[in-house]
Amino acid sequence: MGLRILAVFPLASLLCAEIGTEERTRMIEGMNARAAHFGEVSRQIWEFAELGYKEQRSSGLLRSELQKAGFRTQENIGGMPTAFTAEWGSGKPVIGILGEYDALPGLSQDIHPERKPLVNGGSGHGCGHNLFGTASAFAAIAVKQWMEEKKIAGTLRFYGSPAEEGGGGKIYMIRAGAFRDVDVVLDWHPGSSNSAGLGSSLANISGKFRFYGKAAHAAGNPQLGRSALDALLLMSHGVELLREHVPATTRIHYIITKGGAAPNVVPDFTEGYFYARSPSMPVLDNVWDRIVKCAQAGALATETKLEVELVNSVYNKLPNEPISRVFYKHLQALGGVQYTDEERRFAETLQKSFTPEDGAALGSEATVLPFEAERASPGSTDVSDVSWVVPTASFRTATFVPGAPGHSWQNVACAGSSIGRKGMVLAAKVLALSAADLFTTPAAIVDARKDFDKRRAGHEYKSRVPADQKPPLNYRDNP
C-alpha cells in the first residue's frame, strides 16, 4: 500500500516546536527495537480478554512493565482494584497518558478472517483496548527514558483506567483526585484510519430497570400473577414510540438481561439494561427522564414494583485544538503503515463479511486523513469526563480493517493480529513524540489551557453519576 498524505499544514501553523531531529530519530529507533516486545504484551492482554473491573491480569501486566521501567505505581485508585497510576519524575509540567484494557462480552474470536470464536459466548477485544493500554504504556516508557537521558524536568503519569466500556472508571479516578494536578492529558484510540482533530462524542446515561411482580401458574390461575415481563415489555414499547419524539442525533438501545424463568410461570422479576446518548448532556437529561417515565408507566399498568439503578453516565468530549495539532503534526511526519501481502489477503477476506454499507476501500489505513473539523462521533467514552476537568485530546491510528463495524468479531481478529500491532506501534510513537514536544515547549501547554478554558466557559461539569455512588464493580454481571 502506498503512502498518501493529505492536507499538509504549513509549519508556521504548528503550535509547538519539535524536539531535535537527532532526539526524535533516537527515540523512534529505540521504540522500533522494543516494538516486538510490546506487541507480545498486547497479544497477552488480547488473550486475557477481561471484562470491565475484572481486568486483574491485564492491568497487572501493564503495571509490571511500568514498574520494571522505573515508574512509581499506586493501585486501587478510587476504590477500583484494577485502576492504577504509574509516575516518573517530579514537578511541573505534569503530563498524563491514558490507557485502557477492558474487553467486551460475547465477542470471542480467533485471529481468523472468518467467524471462529475461541470460546463460545466468551469476551473479546472488539474495541482494541489491548492495543490501547499497551501503546500508551510503551509510549510512557519511551518518554521516561528520553527525560532521564536529557534531564527533562516535569512529571509523566500513566493512567491505567478500567471499565471504559460502560463502567465509567475514569469518573471515579477523577473523584479520587487523580487528575487534580495534571496540565494536559494525551489519549488515543484504535480505529480504521489515522486521524486527529476536533471530534467530540455523545454524552451517555445508562441504567438497569428492574421490575418485581408476583409469580403464578400461567395457565391455572394467571389472574393471581402480576407479570414483571409485561412491565418491561410495556416500558420497551414506550421507548420505541419515544424514538419518534427525540432529536435525530439521539441514540437509545437496550437488552433484556432477565426475562423470566419459565413460560408457564408468570415472571416475578425482570431486568432491562438501557443506554441513551446525545451530543448534549442537557438534552440527554430530558430524554432519560422520559425513558424513566416509560418504566414508571409499565410498572403502573401491571401493578409491579420498579427499581432503577443508574449504572453510568459520561459527558460529550471537549476537544482541544493545540494538543490535537501536535498529534496531527507527528501523524503526518510518521505517515501510515505498510502491510505484507499476507496481511492484505487477510483484510480482503475479512471484508467479505461486511455488509455493503460497511464497505471501505483498502488503503485508507496507510493514509493520514485531513485534520478533522468539529463533529460528534456516535460513540461515548469516559475520556470525555477527563476532557472537562483537564485539557485533553485524542487521535486514532489504523488498527482495524477499513469498514469493519465497531465492537465486532472482525475487530477482535484485527486487534490480535499483526495488522493491529502495526497501528499500535504508530500510536505509541505519536504519543511519545507529542509528549516530548509538550515537555519542552511550555507555551504549547499554555495554549492548550487557553483553548480548554474557552470551550468550557459557561458550562459546568457535573457528573450525572450520584456523588455517593461507588464504582459498579459487578455491572457486567447479569441476574
What gap in Å lies between CA 312 and CA 205, rounded to an integer? 6
The whole model's pTM is what? 0.92
Question: pLDDT class for 16, splitting at 50, 70, 90?
Answer: very low
What gap in Å lies between CA 78 and CA 212, rounded to an integer? 32
Question: In the prediction, which pLDDT does 93 show?
Answer: 98
Ranges 161-165, 300-304, 367-371, 449-453: which has the least confidence = 367-371
Helices (H), 151-202: 169-175
Extract the C-alpha cell encoding 268. Answer: 416475578
Domain with CATH 3.30.70.360 in the chain: 203-314
Count helices and strands (H / E) in the chain.
12, 14
Q: Tens digits of per-residue pLDDT, 124-180?
A: 999 999 999 999 999 999 999 999 999 999 999 999 999 999 999 999 999 999 999
What gap in Å lies between CA 104 and CA 49, rounded to an integer? 8
CATH 3.30.70.240, applies to 4-200+316-456:
no
Question: In the prediction, which pLDDT does 1 show?
Answer: 30
Question: In the prediction, which pLDDT does 167 show?
Answer: 97
Residue 94 confidence (pLDDT) above 90: yes
> What's the number of CA atoms in the CB half-sphere (13 Å) around residue 402?
13
pLDDT more than 90, % of the chain = 87
Question: In the prediction, which pLDDT does 361 show?
Answer: 65
Ranges 52-61, 251-260, 458-467: which has the least confidence = 458-467
| Position 132, amino acid | F
Q: Are 95 and 439 in contact (CB under 8 A)?
A: yes
Question: In the prediction, which pLDDT does 21 show?
Answer: 86
Q: For the chain, give the mean pLDDT.
A: 93
Residue 102 confidence (pLDDT) above 50: yes
> What's the number of CA atoms in the CB half-sphere (13 Å) around residue 306?
23
From the centroid of its chain, how far is CA 189?
A: 7
Question: In the prediction, which pLDDT does 13 show?
Answer: 34
CATH code: domain 203-314 is: 3.30.70.360
Domain with CATH 3.40.630.10 in the chain: 4-200+316-456
Question: In the prediction, which pLDDT does 161 show?
Answer: 98
Residues 399-414, mean pLDDT to the nearest whole number:
94
Helices (H), 69-218: 129-150, 169-175
What gap in Å lies between CA 117 and CA 111, rounded to an integer? 9
